Amino acid sequence: MSETSVALSNLGAIDAAHHIHPFSNMTKLNEGGSRIIERAEGSTIWDSKGKKYLDAFAGLWCVNIGYGRKEIAEAVAAQMNELPYYNLFFGTTTPPAALLAQKITSHTDGKLNKVFFTGSGSEATDTWFRMARVYWAAKGMPSKKQIIARKNGYHGSTVAGASLGGMKYMHEQGALPIEGIHHIGQPHWYAEGGDMTPDEFALNVARELEAKIDELGEENVAAFVAEPIQGAGGVIVPPDSYWPEIVRICKARNILLVADEVICGFGRTGNWFGHQHYGFVPDMAPVAKGLSSGYLPIGGVLVSDHVAEVIMADDFNHGYTYSGHPVCAVAALENLRIIEEEKLVERVRDDIGPYLAKGLATLLDHDMVGDVQSVGLMAAVQMAKNKKTRERFEKPDDVGTLVRNKCVDAGLIMRATGDRMLASPPLIITHEEVDFMIRTLRGALDAAWMEMK
């Protein structure tokens, strides 16, 4: 036996002994051990015991073109041989970085014509955060520094990312948020809308932005950031009144609007970007995940002309060793070529997105399902203790975990956020796989409901 195969037979123990996983309680995890994922094809993954799962979560909201695309492997191998690395710092560029910049911006309706590359979504967050402040300083308004974000938003795990995010359990670790960051409410009608209609409620939360700007002083506020549809927070689809009011307020109060497209970008909503679904144009838009379908790590910030013009007038003292990494950029280029050629954005909008919505709607008769929401291939099933009154379970996290575990046992990967079951499958998921997903989720809900009674 080779050293590698000896090691592989003992992989669980090795992992437990040496590896700290993201967002995990390692003591608890190591009691049961990690599931080892070994291979994948299309929308299916296999673990080390040979069990197969439908990955209705596309890895982590990212494998938009599905697994196993040889075209990407080949393009990456060729680039590795040609030029495995070069930087973009001292007056140089590389063919993949330049071509990718052209390709990404070609899908923004001519509105976001520049891009700054990063290695991840979190780095993209840190990048626009600094850009926003540099922008106002360069325009002679250095006091415009405060940034407004939302409770239950997610923008990454770096210090700026975790601060901008509205997750309390993240703020509690590391003395966050850092100074200059403020949070307003989220348009989560089911949980927080009370007796208001969804549109009335969403207008009210949008106007919290105006109130916060008044409190801080317009002359002190640089930007507002939000995901077009909150992802990690629970696929919270805002009521129709929300985005037009946010856009109006940002314009009226002269603050930059940042749309975090890390999840919504690259076809997930049935448009190239989530802001296009809602019909607005942000000043900046961080991207990652679906940019390379997760095949290699790469992200960036899309920048509108008026911001780029100001930033580009002077040095911008910011950048990463792996900004625009040529091999990652080639993977992204090939990924975008596949999305274009296979018309995956159109497929999500016209075919598989509506098909998923129809399937989800069949779950509404379930005693435990209070609501379903989806845009394209971003979906949530809201569970409730009493669907008539919108009463929630006492321990929403436990309910989500219970249903999630039953799905996993039955060969379906979904994510639970509190009492919402989330799906974000590859854009190539088939009708039959969507049927399996709905059927399996219903079975998991049935079993969980029985168990809780």
Q: How far is the CB of 1 from ligand PXG (least distance, A)?
A: 36
Cβ neighbours of residue 378 under 8 Å, at least 6 residues apart?
A: 229, 231, 235, 237, 263, 264, 268, 269, 423, 424
Name residues contacting ligand PXG, limited to 222-251 (CB under 6 A). 227, 231-232
Query: Which stretch, 143-151, 166-174, 256-264, 393-401, contacts ligand PXG (CB under 6 A)?
Result: 256-264
Q: Which of 298, 368, 292, 365 is nearest to 334 (CA)?
A: 292
Cis amide bond preceding 326, omega within 30 = no
The Cα–Cα gap between 399 and 395 comes to 7
Q: Hey, how many other C-beta atoms are within 10 angstroms of the C-beta on 343?
A: 13
Query: Which stretch, 120-128, 271-279, 343-351, 365-373, contacts ligand PXG (CB under 6 A)?
Result: 120-128
The Cα–Cα gap between 310 and 251 comes to 18
| Pattern 296-335, ligand PXG, x by CB under 6 A | ---x------------------------------------
Among 75, 288, 332, 345, binds ligand PXG (CB under 6 A): 288
Name residues contacting ligand PXG, limited to 394-433 (CB under 6 A). 415
The Cα–Cα gap between 414 and 448 comes to 15
Among 44, 94, 122, 276, binds ligand PXG (CB under 6 A): 122
3-state secondary structure of 41: strand
* Site membership for ligand PXG, residue 269 (CB under 6 A): no
Among 65, 170, 237, 262, binds ligand PXG (CB under 6 A): 262
The Cα–Cα gap between 111 and 303 comes to 8
Among 260, 283, 419, 433, binds ligand PXG (CB under 6 A): 260
* Site membership for ligand PXG, residue 120 (CB under 6 A): yes
3-state secondary structure of 346: helix
Q: How far is the CB of 163 from ligand PXG (least distance, A)?
A: 13
Q: Hey, how many other C-beta atoms are within 10 angstroms of the C-beta on 193?
A: 19
Q: How far is the CB of 57 from ligand PXG (least distance, A)?
A: 8
* Site membership for ligand PXG, residue 294 (CB under 6 A): no
Name residues contacting ligand PXG, limited to 83-102 (CB under 6 A). none
Name the strands in the sheet holding 420-423, side by side, starting at the edge strand that comes first in the sequence. 369-375, 378-383, 420-423, 415-417
Query: Which stretch, 148-156, 190-198, 246-254, 311-319, contacts ligand PXG (CB under 6 A)?
Result: 148-156
Of 133 and 420, CB closest to ligand PXG: 420
Residue with CB nearest ligand PXG? 121
Angle of the 431-452 helix axis to the 396-409 helix axis, nearest 10: 130
Q: How far is the CB of 347 from ligand PXG (least distance, A)?
A: 23
As given in the structure block, the two tokens for residue 42 are 């299309």
The Cα–Cα gap between 191 and 116 comes to 37
Strand ranges, E, within 239-345: 256-259, 284-287, 299-303
Residues that bind ligand PXG (CB under 6 A): 60, 120-122, 125, 154-156, 161, 227, 231-232, 260, 262-263, 288, 299, 415
